[in-house]
Amino acid sequence: MILLRRGQMEMIGLVVIVLLVTIAFLFLVQFALNDRSDPHFFARKQLATSTLMALSITTTSDCVSGDGPQIVSVNELLKDCAVNREGGFGYNCKGKYSCAYLREELIPTLMAGSLDTFRQRYELRSILIQDPDPPLLRQVGNDGCAARTNVDTSGEFPLDTGAGLVMSTLLICD
């Protein structure tokens, strides 16, 4: 009788150990599945910030104003675009006014040589705060960042123009 009871006690002990191991195993599985760290976030963030910063000071010699040919920066063209949305005044770049030149020529060229070459999904957007629709500039590359989870932003780059504040943002995602 005593031997039988000791056998039962051993059995209960073993069952408890099996249960503990199973619970520990389940916890491990849960932690492993929840670990979704993204090692590329810093690279995306840096690329977004550096691209928007470099892009804003890049100059072009394609433009003329009332004073003749000028070397103007993207920021200056963006200011002109905010003030003269429909053109007619300000800069004329290869027969286009500032907004059209930025949208159709300069920004696509810069992006094609950089973010498109790195096969990076991105969305560049510049809006006039007082009148955000439609945006002054919107460039989407490699299907953009809609419905993506790993999205990083350059942050907002403000630019004071005669028409109000222009905010530019570049999103980069995987």
Q: Measure the CA–CA gap between 111 and 124, rounded to whole angstroms.
A: 10
30 binds another protein (CB under 8 A): no
91 neighbors 72 (Cβ within 8 angstroms): yes
Compute how many other C-beta atoms are within 10 angstroms of the C-beta atom of residue 84.
17
Cβ distance to another protein smaller for residue 55 or 127: 55
Cβ distance to another protein smaller for residue 117 or 147: 117
59 binds another protein (CB under 8 A): yes
Extract the tokens encoding 131: 């009148």
Q: Which of 68, 95, 113, 158 binds another protein (CB under 8 A)?
A: 113
Q: Measure the CA–CA gap between 144 and 59, rounded to whole angstroms.
A: 26
57 binds another protein (CB under 8 A): yes
Q: Tell me the closest approach of the beta carbon of residue 133 to another protein, in angstroms.
A: 28
Q: Measure the CA–CA gap between 74 and 54, rounded to whole angstroms.
A: 10
Q: Which of 6, 9, 17, 164 binds another protein (CB under 8 A)?
A: 17
Q: Which of 9, 30, 69, 71 binds another protein (CB under 8 A)?
A: 71
158 binds another protein (CB under 8 A): no
Q: Which of 73, 84, 150, 161 binds another protein (CB under 8 A)?
A: 73
Angle at CA 60, nearest 5°, toward 59 and 66?
110
150 binds another protein (CB under 8 A): no
58 binds another protein (CB under 8 A): yes
| List of residues contacting another protein (CB under 8 A) | 7, 10-11, 14-15, 17-18, 21-22, 24-25, 28-29, 32, 35, 37, 39-40, 42-43, 46-47, 49-51, 53-55, 57-61, 71, 73, 106, 109-110, 113-114, 118
